[in-house]
Amino acid sequence: MRKSRFTEAQIIGMIKEQEAGMPTAEVCRRHGLSPATFYKLKSKYGGMEVSEAARLKALEDENAKLKRLLADTMLDNVVLKDLPGKELTTLTKRREAALRAMRDHDISQRRACRLVGVDPKTVRRDRPPDCAEIRKEMQEIAGKRRRFGYRRIGVLLERKGMRMNHKKLYRLYREEGLSVKRRRGRKRARGSRTPMPEAACPNARWSLDFLADSFGASRKFRILAVIDDCTRECLCLVADTSLSGARVARELSALIRVYGKPGCIVSDNGTEFTSRAMLKWADENQVPWHYIDPGKPQQNAFIESFNGSLRDEFLNEEIFDSLDDARRKLALWRYDYNTVRPHSSLGNQTPQQARRALEQFEGSAPGALAPDGEPEYPNPTCRLSL
């Protein structure tokens, strides 16, 4: 009901004037109200004193306040029941829940944030998107030309008569989620597509890989390791602070002059092995190159096993004072690895014994690698140059 412009005291005064004998029409004319309004007020306040009317007014206000509180509490319960309470573990989810409560139940921002438990400063109502026609055209163009950026899309929009500021164009482009995604991964050299040959004889397959260590005041250096997968022989250990693709090609050419050309070379997709210098060398020397799949080191298991032995038995046990010191110690360890250290995969023979046995019995089965007596070891200083 609309609030009356008369106070309780004025209404009771008018009623007393009418009860004292003044005609009702005169009372209404004097106070400026209609007879219907007068009788309506009289039905409510008739027979009351001013204190009783004030008490009635206070009770009505309190009753209205309690009704509002009850209605708010019931609405809060409905909103909370609609929210996934167990999933509101992050601020992002709480903000989304507050926006959903504001949208579904048409409640204020402050009330929704209080129910969810999030700062109102971090929650803002979503504004309706502007330029709906332009957005639709941008979506259609991007759907047909997925690699077009916002500049080229803007040119095509201009051809349709839709001109706008480049900053606004970029904003709409980003809001629609049309940013061109970068292609993940890099283009890798595929090498030979034929199956990797079996390492059944010396030089049938070589494996390459890099290791890293440090000397002096934590200065890094790298080691190029090349092994023969058949005999497990370490063909070279080249140490330097930098090993490029051209350097790897030069070292492989030197190994071919000593051991002969391999039937296949296996490596990972490192930048040195996939460089132009390396691809050019493989093409000129007609050496098939097999690249393992990215993230699959088990496909190059022979060199990985060798790297583990080199790291465990040598690199983790030695401290290098300089690069020359590292090269000298690597040469000595390589000689011991090839001529002294027994290999269980070779029937406890050394790699050199296995190479001599296979060269003597060419084309024989792996069982021909049985021990044939103690090997005659050459002078270790003669092998340091290999």
Both tokens of 67, joined, read 């009704």
| Residue 144 CA, distance from chain mean position | 28
The residues pairing with 284 across neighbouring beta strands, listed in sequence order, are none
Alpha-carbon gap, residue 7 to 50, rounded angstroms: 10
pTM of the model: 0.50
Nearest to 309 by CA among 273, 285, 275, 345: 345
- One pLDDT digit (tens) per residue for the chain, 386 residues: 456 677 777 787 788 788 777 888 888 888 888 888 888 887 777 767 767 767 777 777 777 777 777 777 777 777 777 776 567 767 777 887 888 777 777 778 888 888 777 887 777 766 677 888 999 999 999 888 888 889 989 999 999 999 999 999 999 999 888 888 776 665 555 555 456 767 888 889 999 999 999 998 788 999 999 999 999 999 999 999 999 999 999 999 999 999 999 999 999 988 899 889 999 999 999 999 998 888 888 888 999 999 999 999 999 988 999 999 999 999 999 999 999 988 888 888 999 998 898 888 765 444 434 334 333 333 333 333 32
Alpha-carbon gap, residue 321 to 359, rounded angstroms: 40
- What pLDDT, on a 0 to 100 scale, did the predictor assign at position 190? 55
Residues contacting 344, CB < 8 A, separation 6+: none
Residues contacting 114, CB < 8 A, separation 6+: none
Q: CB–CB of 250/283 below 8 Å?
A: no
- What pLDDT, on a 0 to 100 scale, did the predictor assign at position 224? 95
Is the four-CA dihedral 372, 378, 384, 386 of positive or negative sign? negative
Alpha-carbon gap, residue 103 to 113, rounded angstroms: 13
- What pLDDT, on a 0 to 100 scale, did the predictor assign at position 50? 67
